[in-house]
Amino acid sequence: MNHIMLRAEFPGADEQHIDEIHNWLDRRNWVRLTTPDEQVGIWHGTFDRQRREQDCHQSAIDAFIEASKQFCQVQLDILWAAKKPSPQVATLIG
């Protein structure tokens, strides 16, 4: 599996729009690692092992743009991506 973690902000979205965006992402197997009341969201997603890392980055960007395009803009930062998280990265998450 390819793993990717990113930080996403949705400036200009109200609470209802944020809920709709989160539901859209949840249905596409994105997992939010931060609580909904936090303004900045940290998300984790997985992709097929055969995909190149750059393709996974682009797919992640496309998913968040699609989720937010009806309501607001999205600001993304890819925090890390790996075929398998290293023990050091897992420690930071835990």
Buried b (16+ CB within 10 A) or exposed e, 46-78: ebeeeeeeeebbebbeebbeebbeebbebebee
Domain interval for residue 47: 2-93
The pTM for the full model equals 0.74
Tally of domains within the chain: 1
Residue 49 scores a pLDDT above 80: no
Residue 8 scores a pLDDT above 80: yes
pLDDT band at 84 (very low <50, low <70, confident <90, very high): low
Residue 54 is part of a domain; what is its CATH number?
A: 3.30.70.120
